[in-house]
Amino acid sequence: MLSGDEFDVEARLVINAAGAWGDRVCELDEPGAPEKLHLTKGSHIMVPRGRAKTENAMPVVSPSDDRMMFLIPRGHFSLIGTTDIYYHEDLDRPFATKDEVEYILEAANCALPRAHLDKGDIISTYSGLRPLVMQEGGEDVAASAVSREHRIYEGHSGLLTIAGGKLTTSRSMAEEMVDMAARKLLKEHGVRAVTGCRTKNNPILGTPAPDTVARVRALSTKLSFDDDILKGLFKQGTDALQVLAMIDKDASLAGRLSPEVPYIKAQVRFAAESEMAYTVDDFLVRRTEIYYTAADQGLSVAPIVADLMAQVRGWDDKEKARQLDAYRETVALSRRYLE
């Protein structure tokens, strides 16, 4: 998508785990294939934790339709959501609408009458799409009542498509999919494959060992990092040591992006070199929480991020300007609820 180049990849078996884009992949494989998905959208708001007037996670019930949502403390903030409505618009640009935000605020204020939350308290919003399995009744069924069960489909070409489910069942879904793929390869192609998914016995990539935590803490103390920077480094697990190693080669990378943003310049360089961050959006939205928690959603540090990424990506001034414009559009989209 960045270059426009096209190339072929050959495989004995292809798994379509494209989430909300699953039907589009099936259409490429088999034009006219029946749709398998009902897409619903869930939106959330982020507010300062002190404004929510609670230190604990708690259910929040909408007074308008009795749907349950949740308020979840997240560091210095509280995350409140989610909505559940059918979605037919741009898959790449879901956003929290004015109606959704008001719906969430109404429910939160009903559960927390002392909070008196309003739109001015919202730091950020975000939306996601649920790729739910299509069922009888279509959209006459309430979006929140659509089953969260998953299904695996096999196309005429042998393409395996997994649809439905939710975040809390994703691990078991993946195991079922991998096991089915292994059996299919063994049966049809005689390819040597495992007879069962083994990843449940493997540690999560980046999980720090106890000595890693101690080393990161010692190095951070030596560099006089503030506590908020240290917490951010701990989230990177074993990668934190690689981030700190960059500072040995270039001391300027120890600098904070800003006094208000708890990230250092080395983390930008590491994201571009080792975490496949190719855009300013990648770093501010998807490699960190700056977009969600910074008071200005990272607009003030975006130029610094662009300059640091440009050193790795080879961007000229024109490309840096394009990257910054794209990020401003991302922030503007998240604040459409104010219109």
Cα atoms in the 13 Å half-sphere on the side-chain side of 152: 15
Classify the C-alpha dihedral 283-289-291-297 as positive or negative.
Answer: negative
Residue 122 dihedral angles phi and psi, to the nearest 5°: -75, 125
Q: What pLDDT shows up at residue 315? A: 97
Sequence ranges of the domains in the chain? 1-165, 210-338
Q: Is the pLDDT of residue 23 over 90?
A: yes
**Residue type, position 250, single letter:** D
Average pLDDT of the chain is: 92
**Cα gap 234→217, rounded to integer Å:** 9
Check for a shared fold between 1-165 and 210-338: no
Q: What is the pLDDT of residues 86-122, one digit of tens each?
A: 999 999 999 999 999 999 999 999 999 999 999 999 9
Kindly report the CATH number that applies to the domain delimited by 1-165. Answer: 3.30.9
Q: What is the mean pLDDT of residues 164-169?
A: 90
CB 80 within 8 Å of CB 108: yes
Query: Residue 205's pLDDT band (boundaries 50, 70, 90)?
Result: confident
207 pLDDT higher than 90: no
The neighbouring-strand residues paired with 68 are 61
pTM of the model: 0.89
Q: How confident is the model at residue 236 (pLDDT cuts 50, 70, 90)?
A: confident
User: What distances in angstroms separate CA 188 from CA 118, 159, 193, 239, 269, one per listed residue?
Assistant: 59, 13, 12, 40, 45
Per the document, the length of the chain is 339
The average pLDDT across 197-219 equals: 80
192 versus 8: the higher-pLDDT residue is 8
State the pLDDT at residue 198: 78
pLDDT at residue 45 is higher than 80: yes
Average pLDDT, integer, range 240-249? 93
In this prediction, residue 195 has a pLDDT band, given cuts at 50, 70 and 90, of low
For domain 210-338, give the CATH number. Answer: 1.10.8.870
81: exposed, middle or buried (C-beta count within 10 Å: 0-12, 13-18, 19+)? buried
Q: Which amino acid is at 112?
A: L
How far apart, in whole angstroms, are the C-alpha atoms of residue 212 and residue 294?
28
Q: What is the pLDDT of residue 314?
A: 96
- For residue 277, the tally of other CB atoms under 10 A from its CB is 23
Instruction: Report the C-alpha gap between 313 and 304 in whole angstroms.
Output: 14
DSSP E strand boundaries for 101-166: 124-133, 150-154, 160-164
Ramachandran bin of 314, using left for φ above 0, alpha for ψ from -120 to 50, beta for the remaining angles: left
Confidence band, pLDDT 50/70/90 cuts, at residue 193: low
Confidence category of residue 221, pLDDT binned at 50, 70, 90:
confident
| Both tokens assigned to 123 | 């730091």
Q: How far is CA 183 from CA 9, 13, 26, 188, in A?
A: 22, 11, 22, 9
Residue 261 CA from chain centroid, whole number: 19
The answer to whether residue 27 scores a pLDDT higher than 80 is yes
